[in-house]
Amino acid sequence: MVELLHENPEIYRIDIPLKGNALKNLNCYVLKSRGESVVIDTGFNNPDCKDALDAGLAELGISMNHTNLLITHLHTDHCGLAPGFRSKDSKIYMSKLEHELIRKWKHRKYRWEMDAIFRQEGFPQEALVEAAKRNPMIVYAADTDYDVVPLRDGDKIEIGDLTFTALAMPGHTPEHMCYYLEKEKIMFLGDHILYDITPNITVWPGVKHSLSTYLINLHRMLTYDIEIAYPAHRGIQGKTLPQRVEEITEHHSRRLNEILQVLREHPGSSGYEVASRLTWSLHGESWDTAPKRQIWFAMGETMAHLEYLMEMEKIFRGNKLVNGQRIHTYFLENKL
Ligand SMILES: [Zn+2]
């Protein structure tokens, strides 16, 4: 399905279904200018996404190997189909750091580092194995390698009459890029800000302070002159950016308070125990029966919040031995 969103510049949305995924859809944006075109994000590397992208591009008279691709971030719902854009007439643009991370993901060592972070919070090994089987970063990854024009914060990309500025907004991922048309006052948000759901913030090997970095960049978005802001998933209007920034900030502050309350009642809980005591919408399932993939996301989010509370010196970390393995435990700072 293709929808014309904006006439000058010409902006279209291709609705890419993400079947079986809680995100439901990807908003793939296509812009045309003076005989050139650019696609922002692709969908998973699976037949449903590929069919929807192919059909949408065909309707617009564009082919993958004769356009350009801007990737907002490394998640496979955004870049799973990127190899199809490789050709001498197309350029693929992406954060330099995130392109390197995609390559690292292919190596077991990096995934082990990620697993080790979860294990030291008490996440059960069998749940890790189960969650990995459905990890979209593995299941729907691009099937072949591809080169990109590596982007850094502030880089300009010229397509027809359009000039995009790549804005590094780390938080949701280590160097998530938003793309800004300054003259037209239009921002492509990727997953940095979504209108209907809260972007997932988690921990990454070698990356510190995901949540505080995210919150800084969340508010940084309000420093740009923006008339229209397009998110990568679900609804594309209905709320203003300042409203969403406030709501998302409140969401995190509620979560942080909830964690403090859990630690007040259960000092010395492991990260996993904290996560299991928080409220999650698990589609009617309990913590123990919910799919391990969902528990894995919840755990990642909890760790990012625990790290933030340590950074703010509201809690501190200890250790305990469980089945011969040393895992982290958390306590409120005395002053609270
Ligand atoms: Zn994402």
207 CA distance to ligand 1 middle (Å): 16
Which CATH superfamily hosts domain 2-106+141-238? Ribonuclease Z/Hydroxyacylglutathione hydrolase-like (3.60.15.10)
CATH class of 111-135+251-332: mainly alpha
Residues of the chain above pLDDT 90, percent? 85
Kindly report which listed range (43-47, 112-116, 240-244, 315-319) carries the lowest average pLDDT score.
112-116
Q: Both tokens of residue 121?
A: 């919070």
Q: Which has the closest alpha carbon to 216: 257, 275, 176?
A: 176
Give me the residues near ligand 1 (ion), CB cutoff below 5 Å.
75, 191
- Distance separating alpha carbons of residues 320 and 268, to the nearest angstrom: 9
331 CA distance to ligand 1 middle (Å): 31
Per residue in 62-106, pLDDT (tens digit) is 999 899 999 999 999 999 999 999 999 899 999 999 999 999 888
- Distance separating alpha carbons of residues 81 and 166, to the nearest angstrom: 21
pLDDT of residue 146: 94
- Which residue matches tokens 């037209």? 184
Q: Both tokens of residue 265?
A: 């009642």
Per residue in 241-252, pLDDT (tens digit) is 999 999 999 999
Angle between helices 210-220 and 241-265 (to 10 degrees): 160
pLDDT band for position 25 (cuts 50, 70, 90): very high
Beta-sheet strands, E only, within 96-243:
149-151, 156-159, 162-168, 177-181, 186-190, 228-231
Query: 167 has which bridge partners?
Result: 178
pLDDT band for position 308 (cuts 50, 70, 90): very high
Residues near 13 by Cβ (< 8 Å), separated by ≥ 6?
Answer: 2, 3, 5, 27, 28, 29, 30, 230, 236
Where exactly are the structural domains of the chain? 2-106+141-238, 111-135+251-332
200 CA distance to ligand 1 middle (Å): 8
124 CA distance to ligand 1 middle (Å): 25
**Torsion sign (Cα): 195, 39, 42, 147:** negative
pLDDT of residue 335: 61
The model carries a pTM of 0.95
- Residue 289 CB coordination number (10 Å): 9
